[in-house]
A and B are shown apart, each in its own frame.
Chain A
Amino acid sequence: MTSEVGPTGPKENRRDFLKYFLGGGVVAWLGAVLYPILAFLIPPKQGEVEVTSVKAGKLGEIEKESGTIVRFGNKPVILIRNSSGECVAFSATCTHLDCTVQYRKDLGVIWCACHNGRYDLKGQNISGPPPRPLDEYRVIIQGEDVLISKKV
């Protein structure tokens, strides 16, 4: 290394080298510290700890006599629009063994494929093994948007 240095002497050169290291090091260090902090400050996709409401879609896009599964946090919710156009929502978790229920247009009920459990469109268990009614959620219609929120 000393063989390569010029007439100014090895010391001066090394000093400059060190300066770059120090300066670069400080900048890199700042980056290493600030990057996680800034990333931390960006709000995550799910804005809050507990999901309190989700947007289920546009009213115009939801057909009459249909049921759709909407993800509500880690749980599925079934949004049902009945023949008169009203919307209701229930927990889509069957109260028997936690399968996900579906809307059966032909039967006019909420149906569980696992053991043929049935609920009416008020969420009441009407036949098969389910021991309890489905939990109800609140449906709020804001303009065109259909929102589902927890019953308070």
Chain B
Amino acid sequence: MKPVWKRLYDWVDERVELGGLVEFLGKKYVPVHRHSIWYYFGGVSLFLFIIQVTTGILLLLYYKSGEELAFESVQFITSKVQFGWLIRSVHSWAANLFILAAFIHMFSVYFTRAYRKPREITWITGMLMFFLGLFFGFSGYLLPWNELAFFATKVGTDIAGAIPIIGKPVMIFLRGGEDVTGATLSRMFGFHIAILPGIFSVCLGIHLLLVQRQGMSEPEESGKDMKTMPFFPNFLLRDLLLWLLVMNVLAILAVIFPWELGHKADAFASAPAGIKPEWYFLFMFQMLKYIPAKILSIDGEVLGILVFSAAGLLWTLVPFWDRETKRGTRGRFLTYVGIAAVVCIISLTIVGWLS
């Protein structure tokens, strides 16, 4: 008598022919080298995303959008619903860890030039998911409708409004009107729970499919006799191990440092001192502060936003203009650019955090 799980496998196999898939997975190998550690951050991002989806759906059962109820319903979740405090805290913490993991994943791919042919599409979908993740954070931040979120959203959409020509319509689109109101809340709620997850899932599907299909990218300098490890089960088990550790960290953070709810937003109150965006926007926010008000009769803020947009676009399109890697030479230029970006982001974030 075969064990139950084996019989179940057979039952499914007869119908959908799992054999090919298993064979594919069995032949899949992950290169082992001194940069292998970075391979895990994609998995960590994925794990955190799964947590976000799960806790997000749970929160949706009690959350009520709308000016009068949003704050109260979050308060209700954290005080009245069993483990509501935990689910909300996990959702908030995992969001931040997700952005962090995505940052690390993105830079590791950049520095190892893993975006090069044939993985341009993987890079593009990854970048798209990164921007979606930031937008997830931005829209989710407003949903508890507390004071900090209200003013951070006001400032954030104001910055978007400073872009020449398209700025104003973009701002009105984001706010659902001229000002941050209940309409903005409904809109952000819509983005956060329907539009963004929809687009994100498509990108994620393509991204994962390509990763599996094309396998892990090998470093440029690797020779033919690269050490490898089977994806299944070795790499997968290591992935799982790391996920468990991340989960542990997440649980500790969520319980010991529960996410504060603050005070309910009041559109007519004066902005509290020291309004800051979420930490992952802090470097841009800080940078905008340093740019002089006028540069050659162009508004400093506008210029800053344009520079950021251009940089983001160039970064996203790096597989297409990176000549060095295409020629097969290990160029230094892009590495310096990357290091400059990392140093810049980290130092500005720290300065922004402390100021």
Contact = CB atoms under 8 A, between A and B. Distances in A.
- The answer to A–B direct touch (Cβ < 8 A) is yes
Interface of A: 29, 36-37, 39-42, 44-46, 48-50
A46 B73 CA distance: 12
Contacts of B80: 44-46
A36 B87 contact: yes
A50 B72 contact: yes
A49 B83 contact: no
B94 to A, nearest CB: 13
Contact of B83 (A36, A45, A48, A50): A36
A49 B87 contact: no
Contact of B82 (A40, A46, A49): A40
B103 interface: no
Contacts of B61: 40-41
A45 B81 CA distance: 9
B72 A44 contact: no
A49 B81 contact: no
Looking at A29, A39, A45, A46, the one whose CB has the most chain B CB atoms below 10 A away is A39
B69 A50 contact: yes
Contact of A49 (B54, B58, B73, B244): B73
A131 B283 CA distance: 53
Contacts of A45: 80
Given A49-B73, A49-B76, A50-B72, A44 B82 contact: yes
A48 B82 CA distance: 14
A57 to B, nearest CB: 24
A46 B75 CA distance: 13
Nearest to B251: A32
A151 to B, nearest CB: 16
A48 B62 CA distance: 8
Contacts of B75: 49
Looking at A36, A48, A49, the one whose CB has the most chain B CB atoms below 10 A away is A49
A41 B54 CA distance: 12
Interface in B49-103: 54, 58, 61-62, 64, 68-69, 72-73, 75-76, 80-84, 86-87
Nearest to A48: B76
A49 B84 contact: no
A40 B81 contact: yes
23 contacts: A36-B82, A37-B54, A37-B58, A37-B83, A39-B83, A40-B61, A40-B81, A40-B82, A40-B84, A40-B87, A41-B58, A41-B61, A42-B82, A44-B76, A44-B80, A45-B80, A46-B76, A48-B76, A49-B62, A49-B64, A49-B69, A49-B73, A49-B75
Contacts of A41: 58, 61
Contacts of A37: 54, 58, 83, 87
Closest 4 CB pairs of A and B: A36-B83, A39-B82, A49-B76, A49-B73
Nearest to A46: B80
A21 to B, nearest CB: 13
A147 to B, nearest CB: 21
Given A49-B69, A49-B76, A40 B83 contact: yes
A11 B124 CA distance: 48
Given A37-B58, A44-B81, 4 more contacts: A37-B87, A49-B72, A49-B76, A50-B68
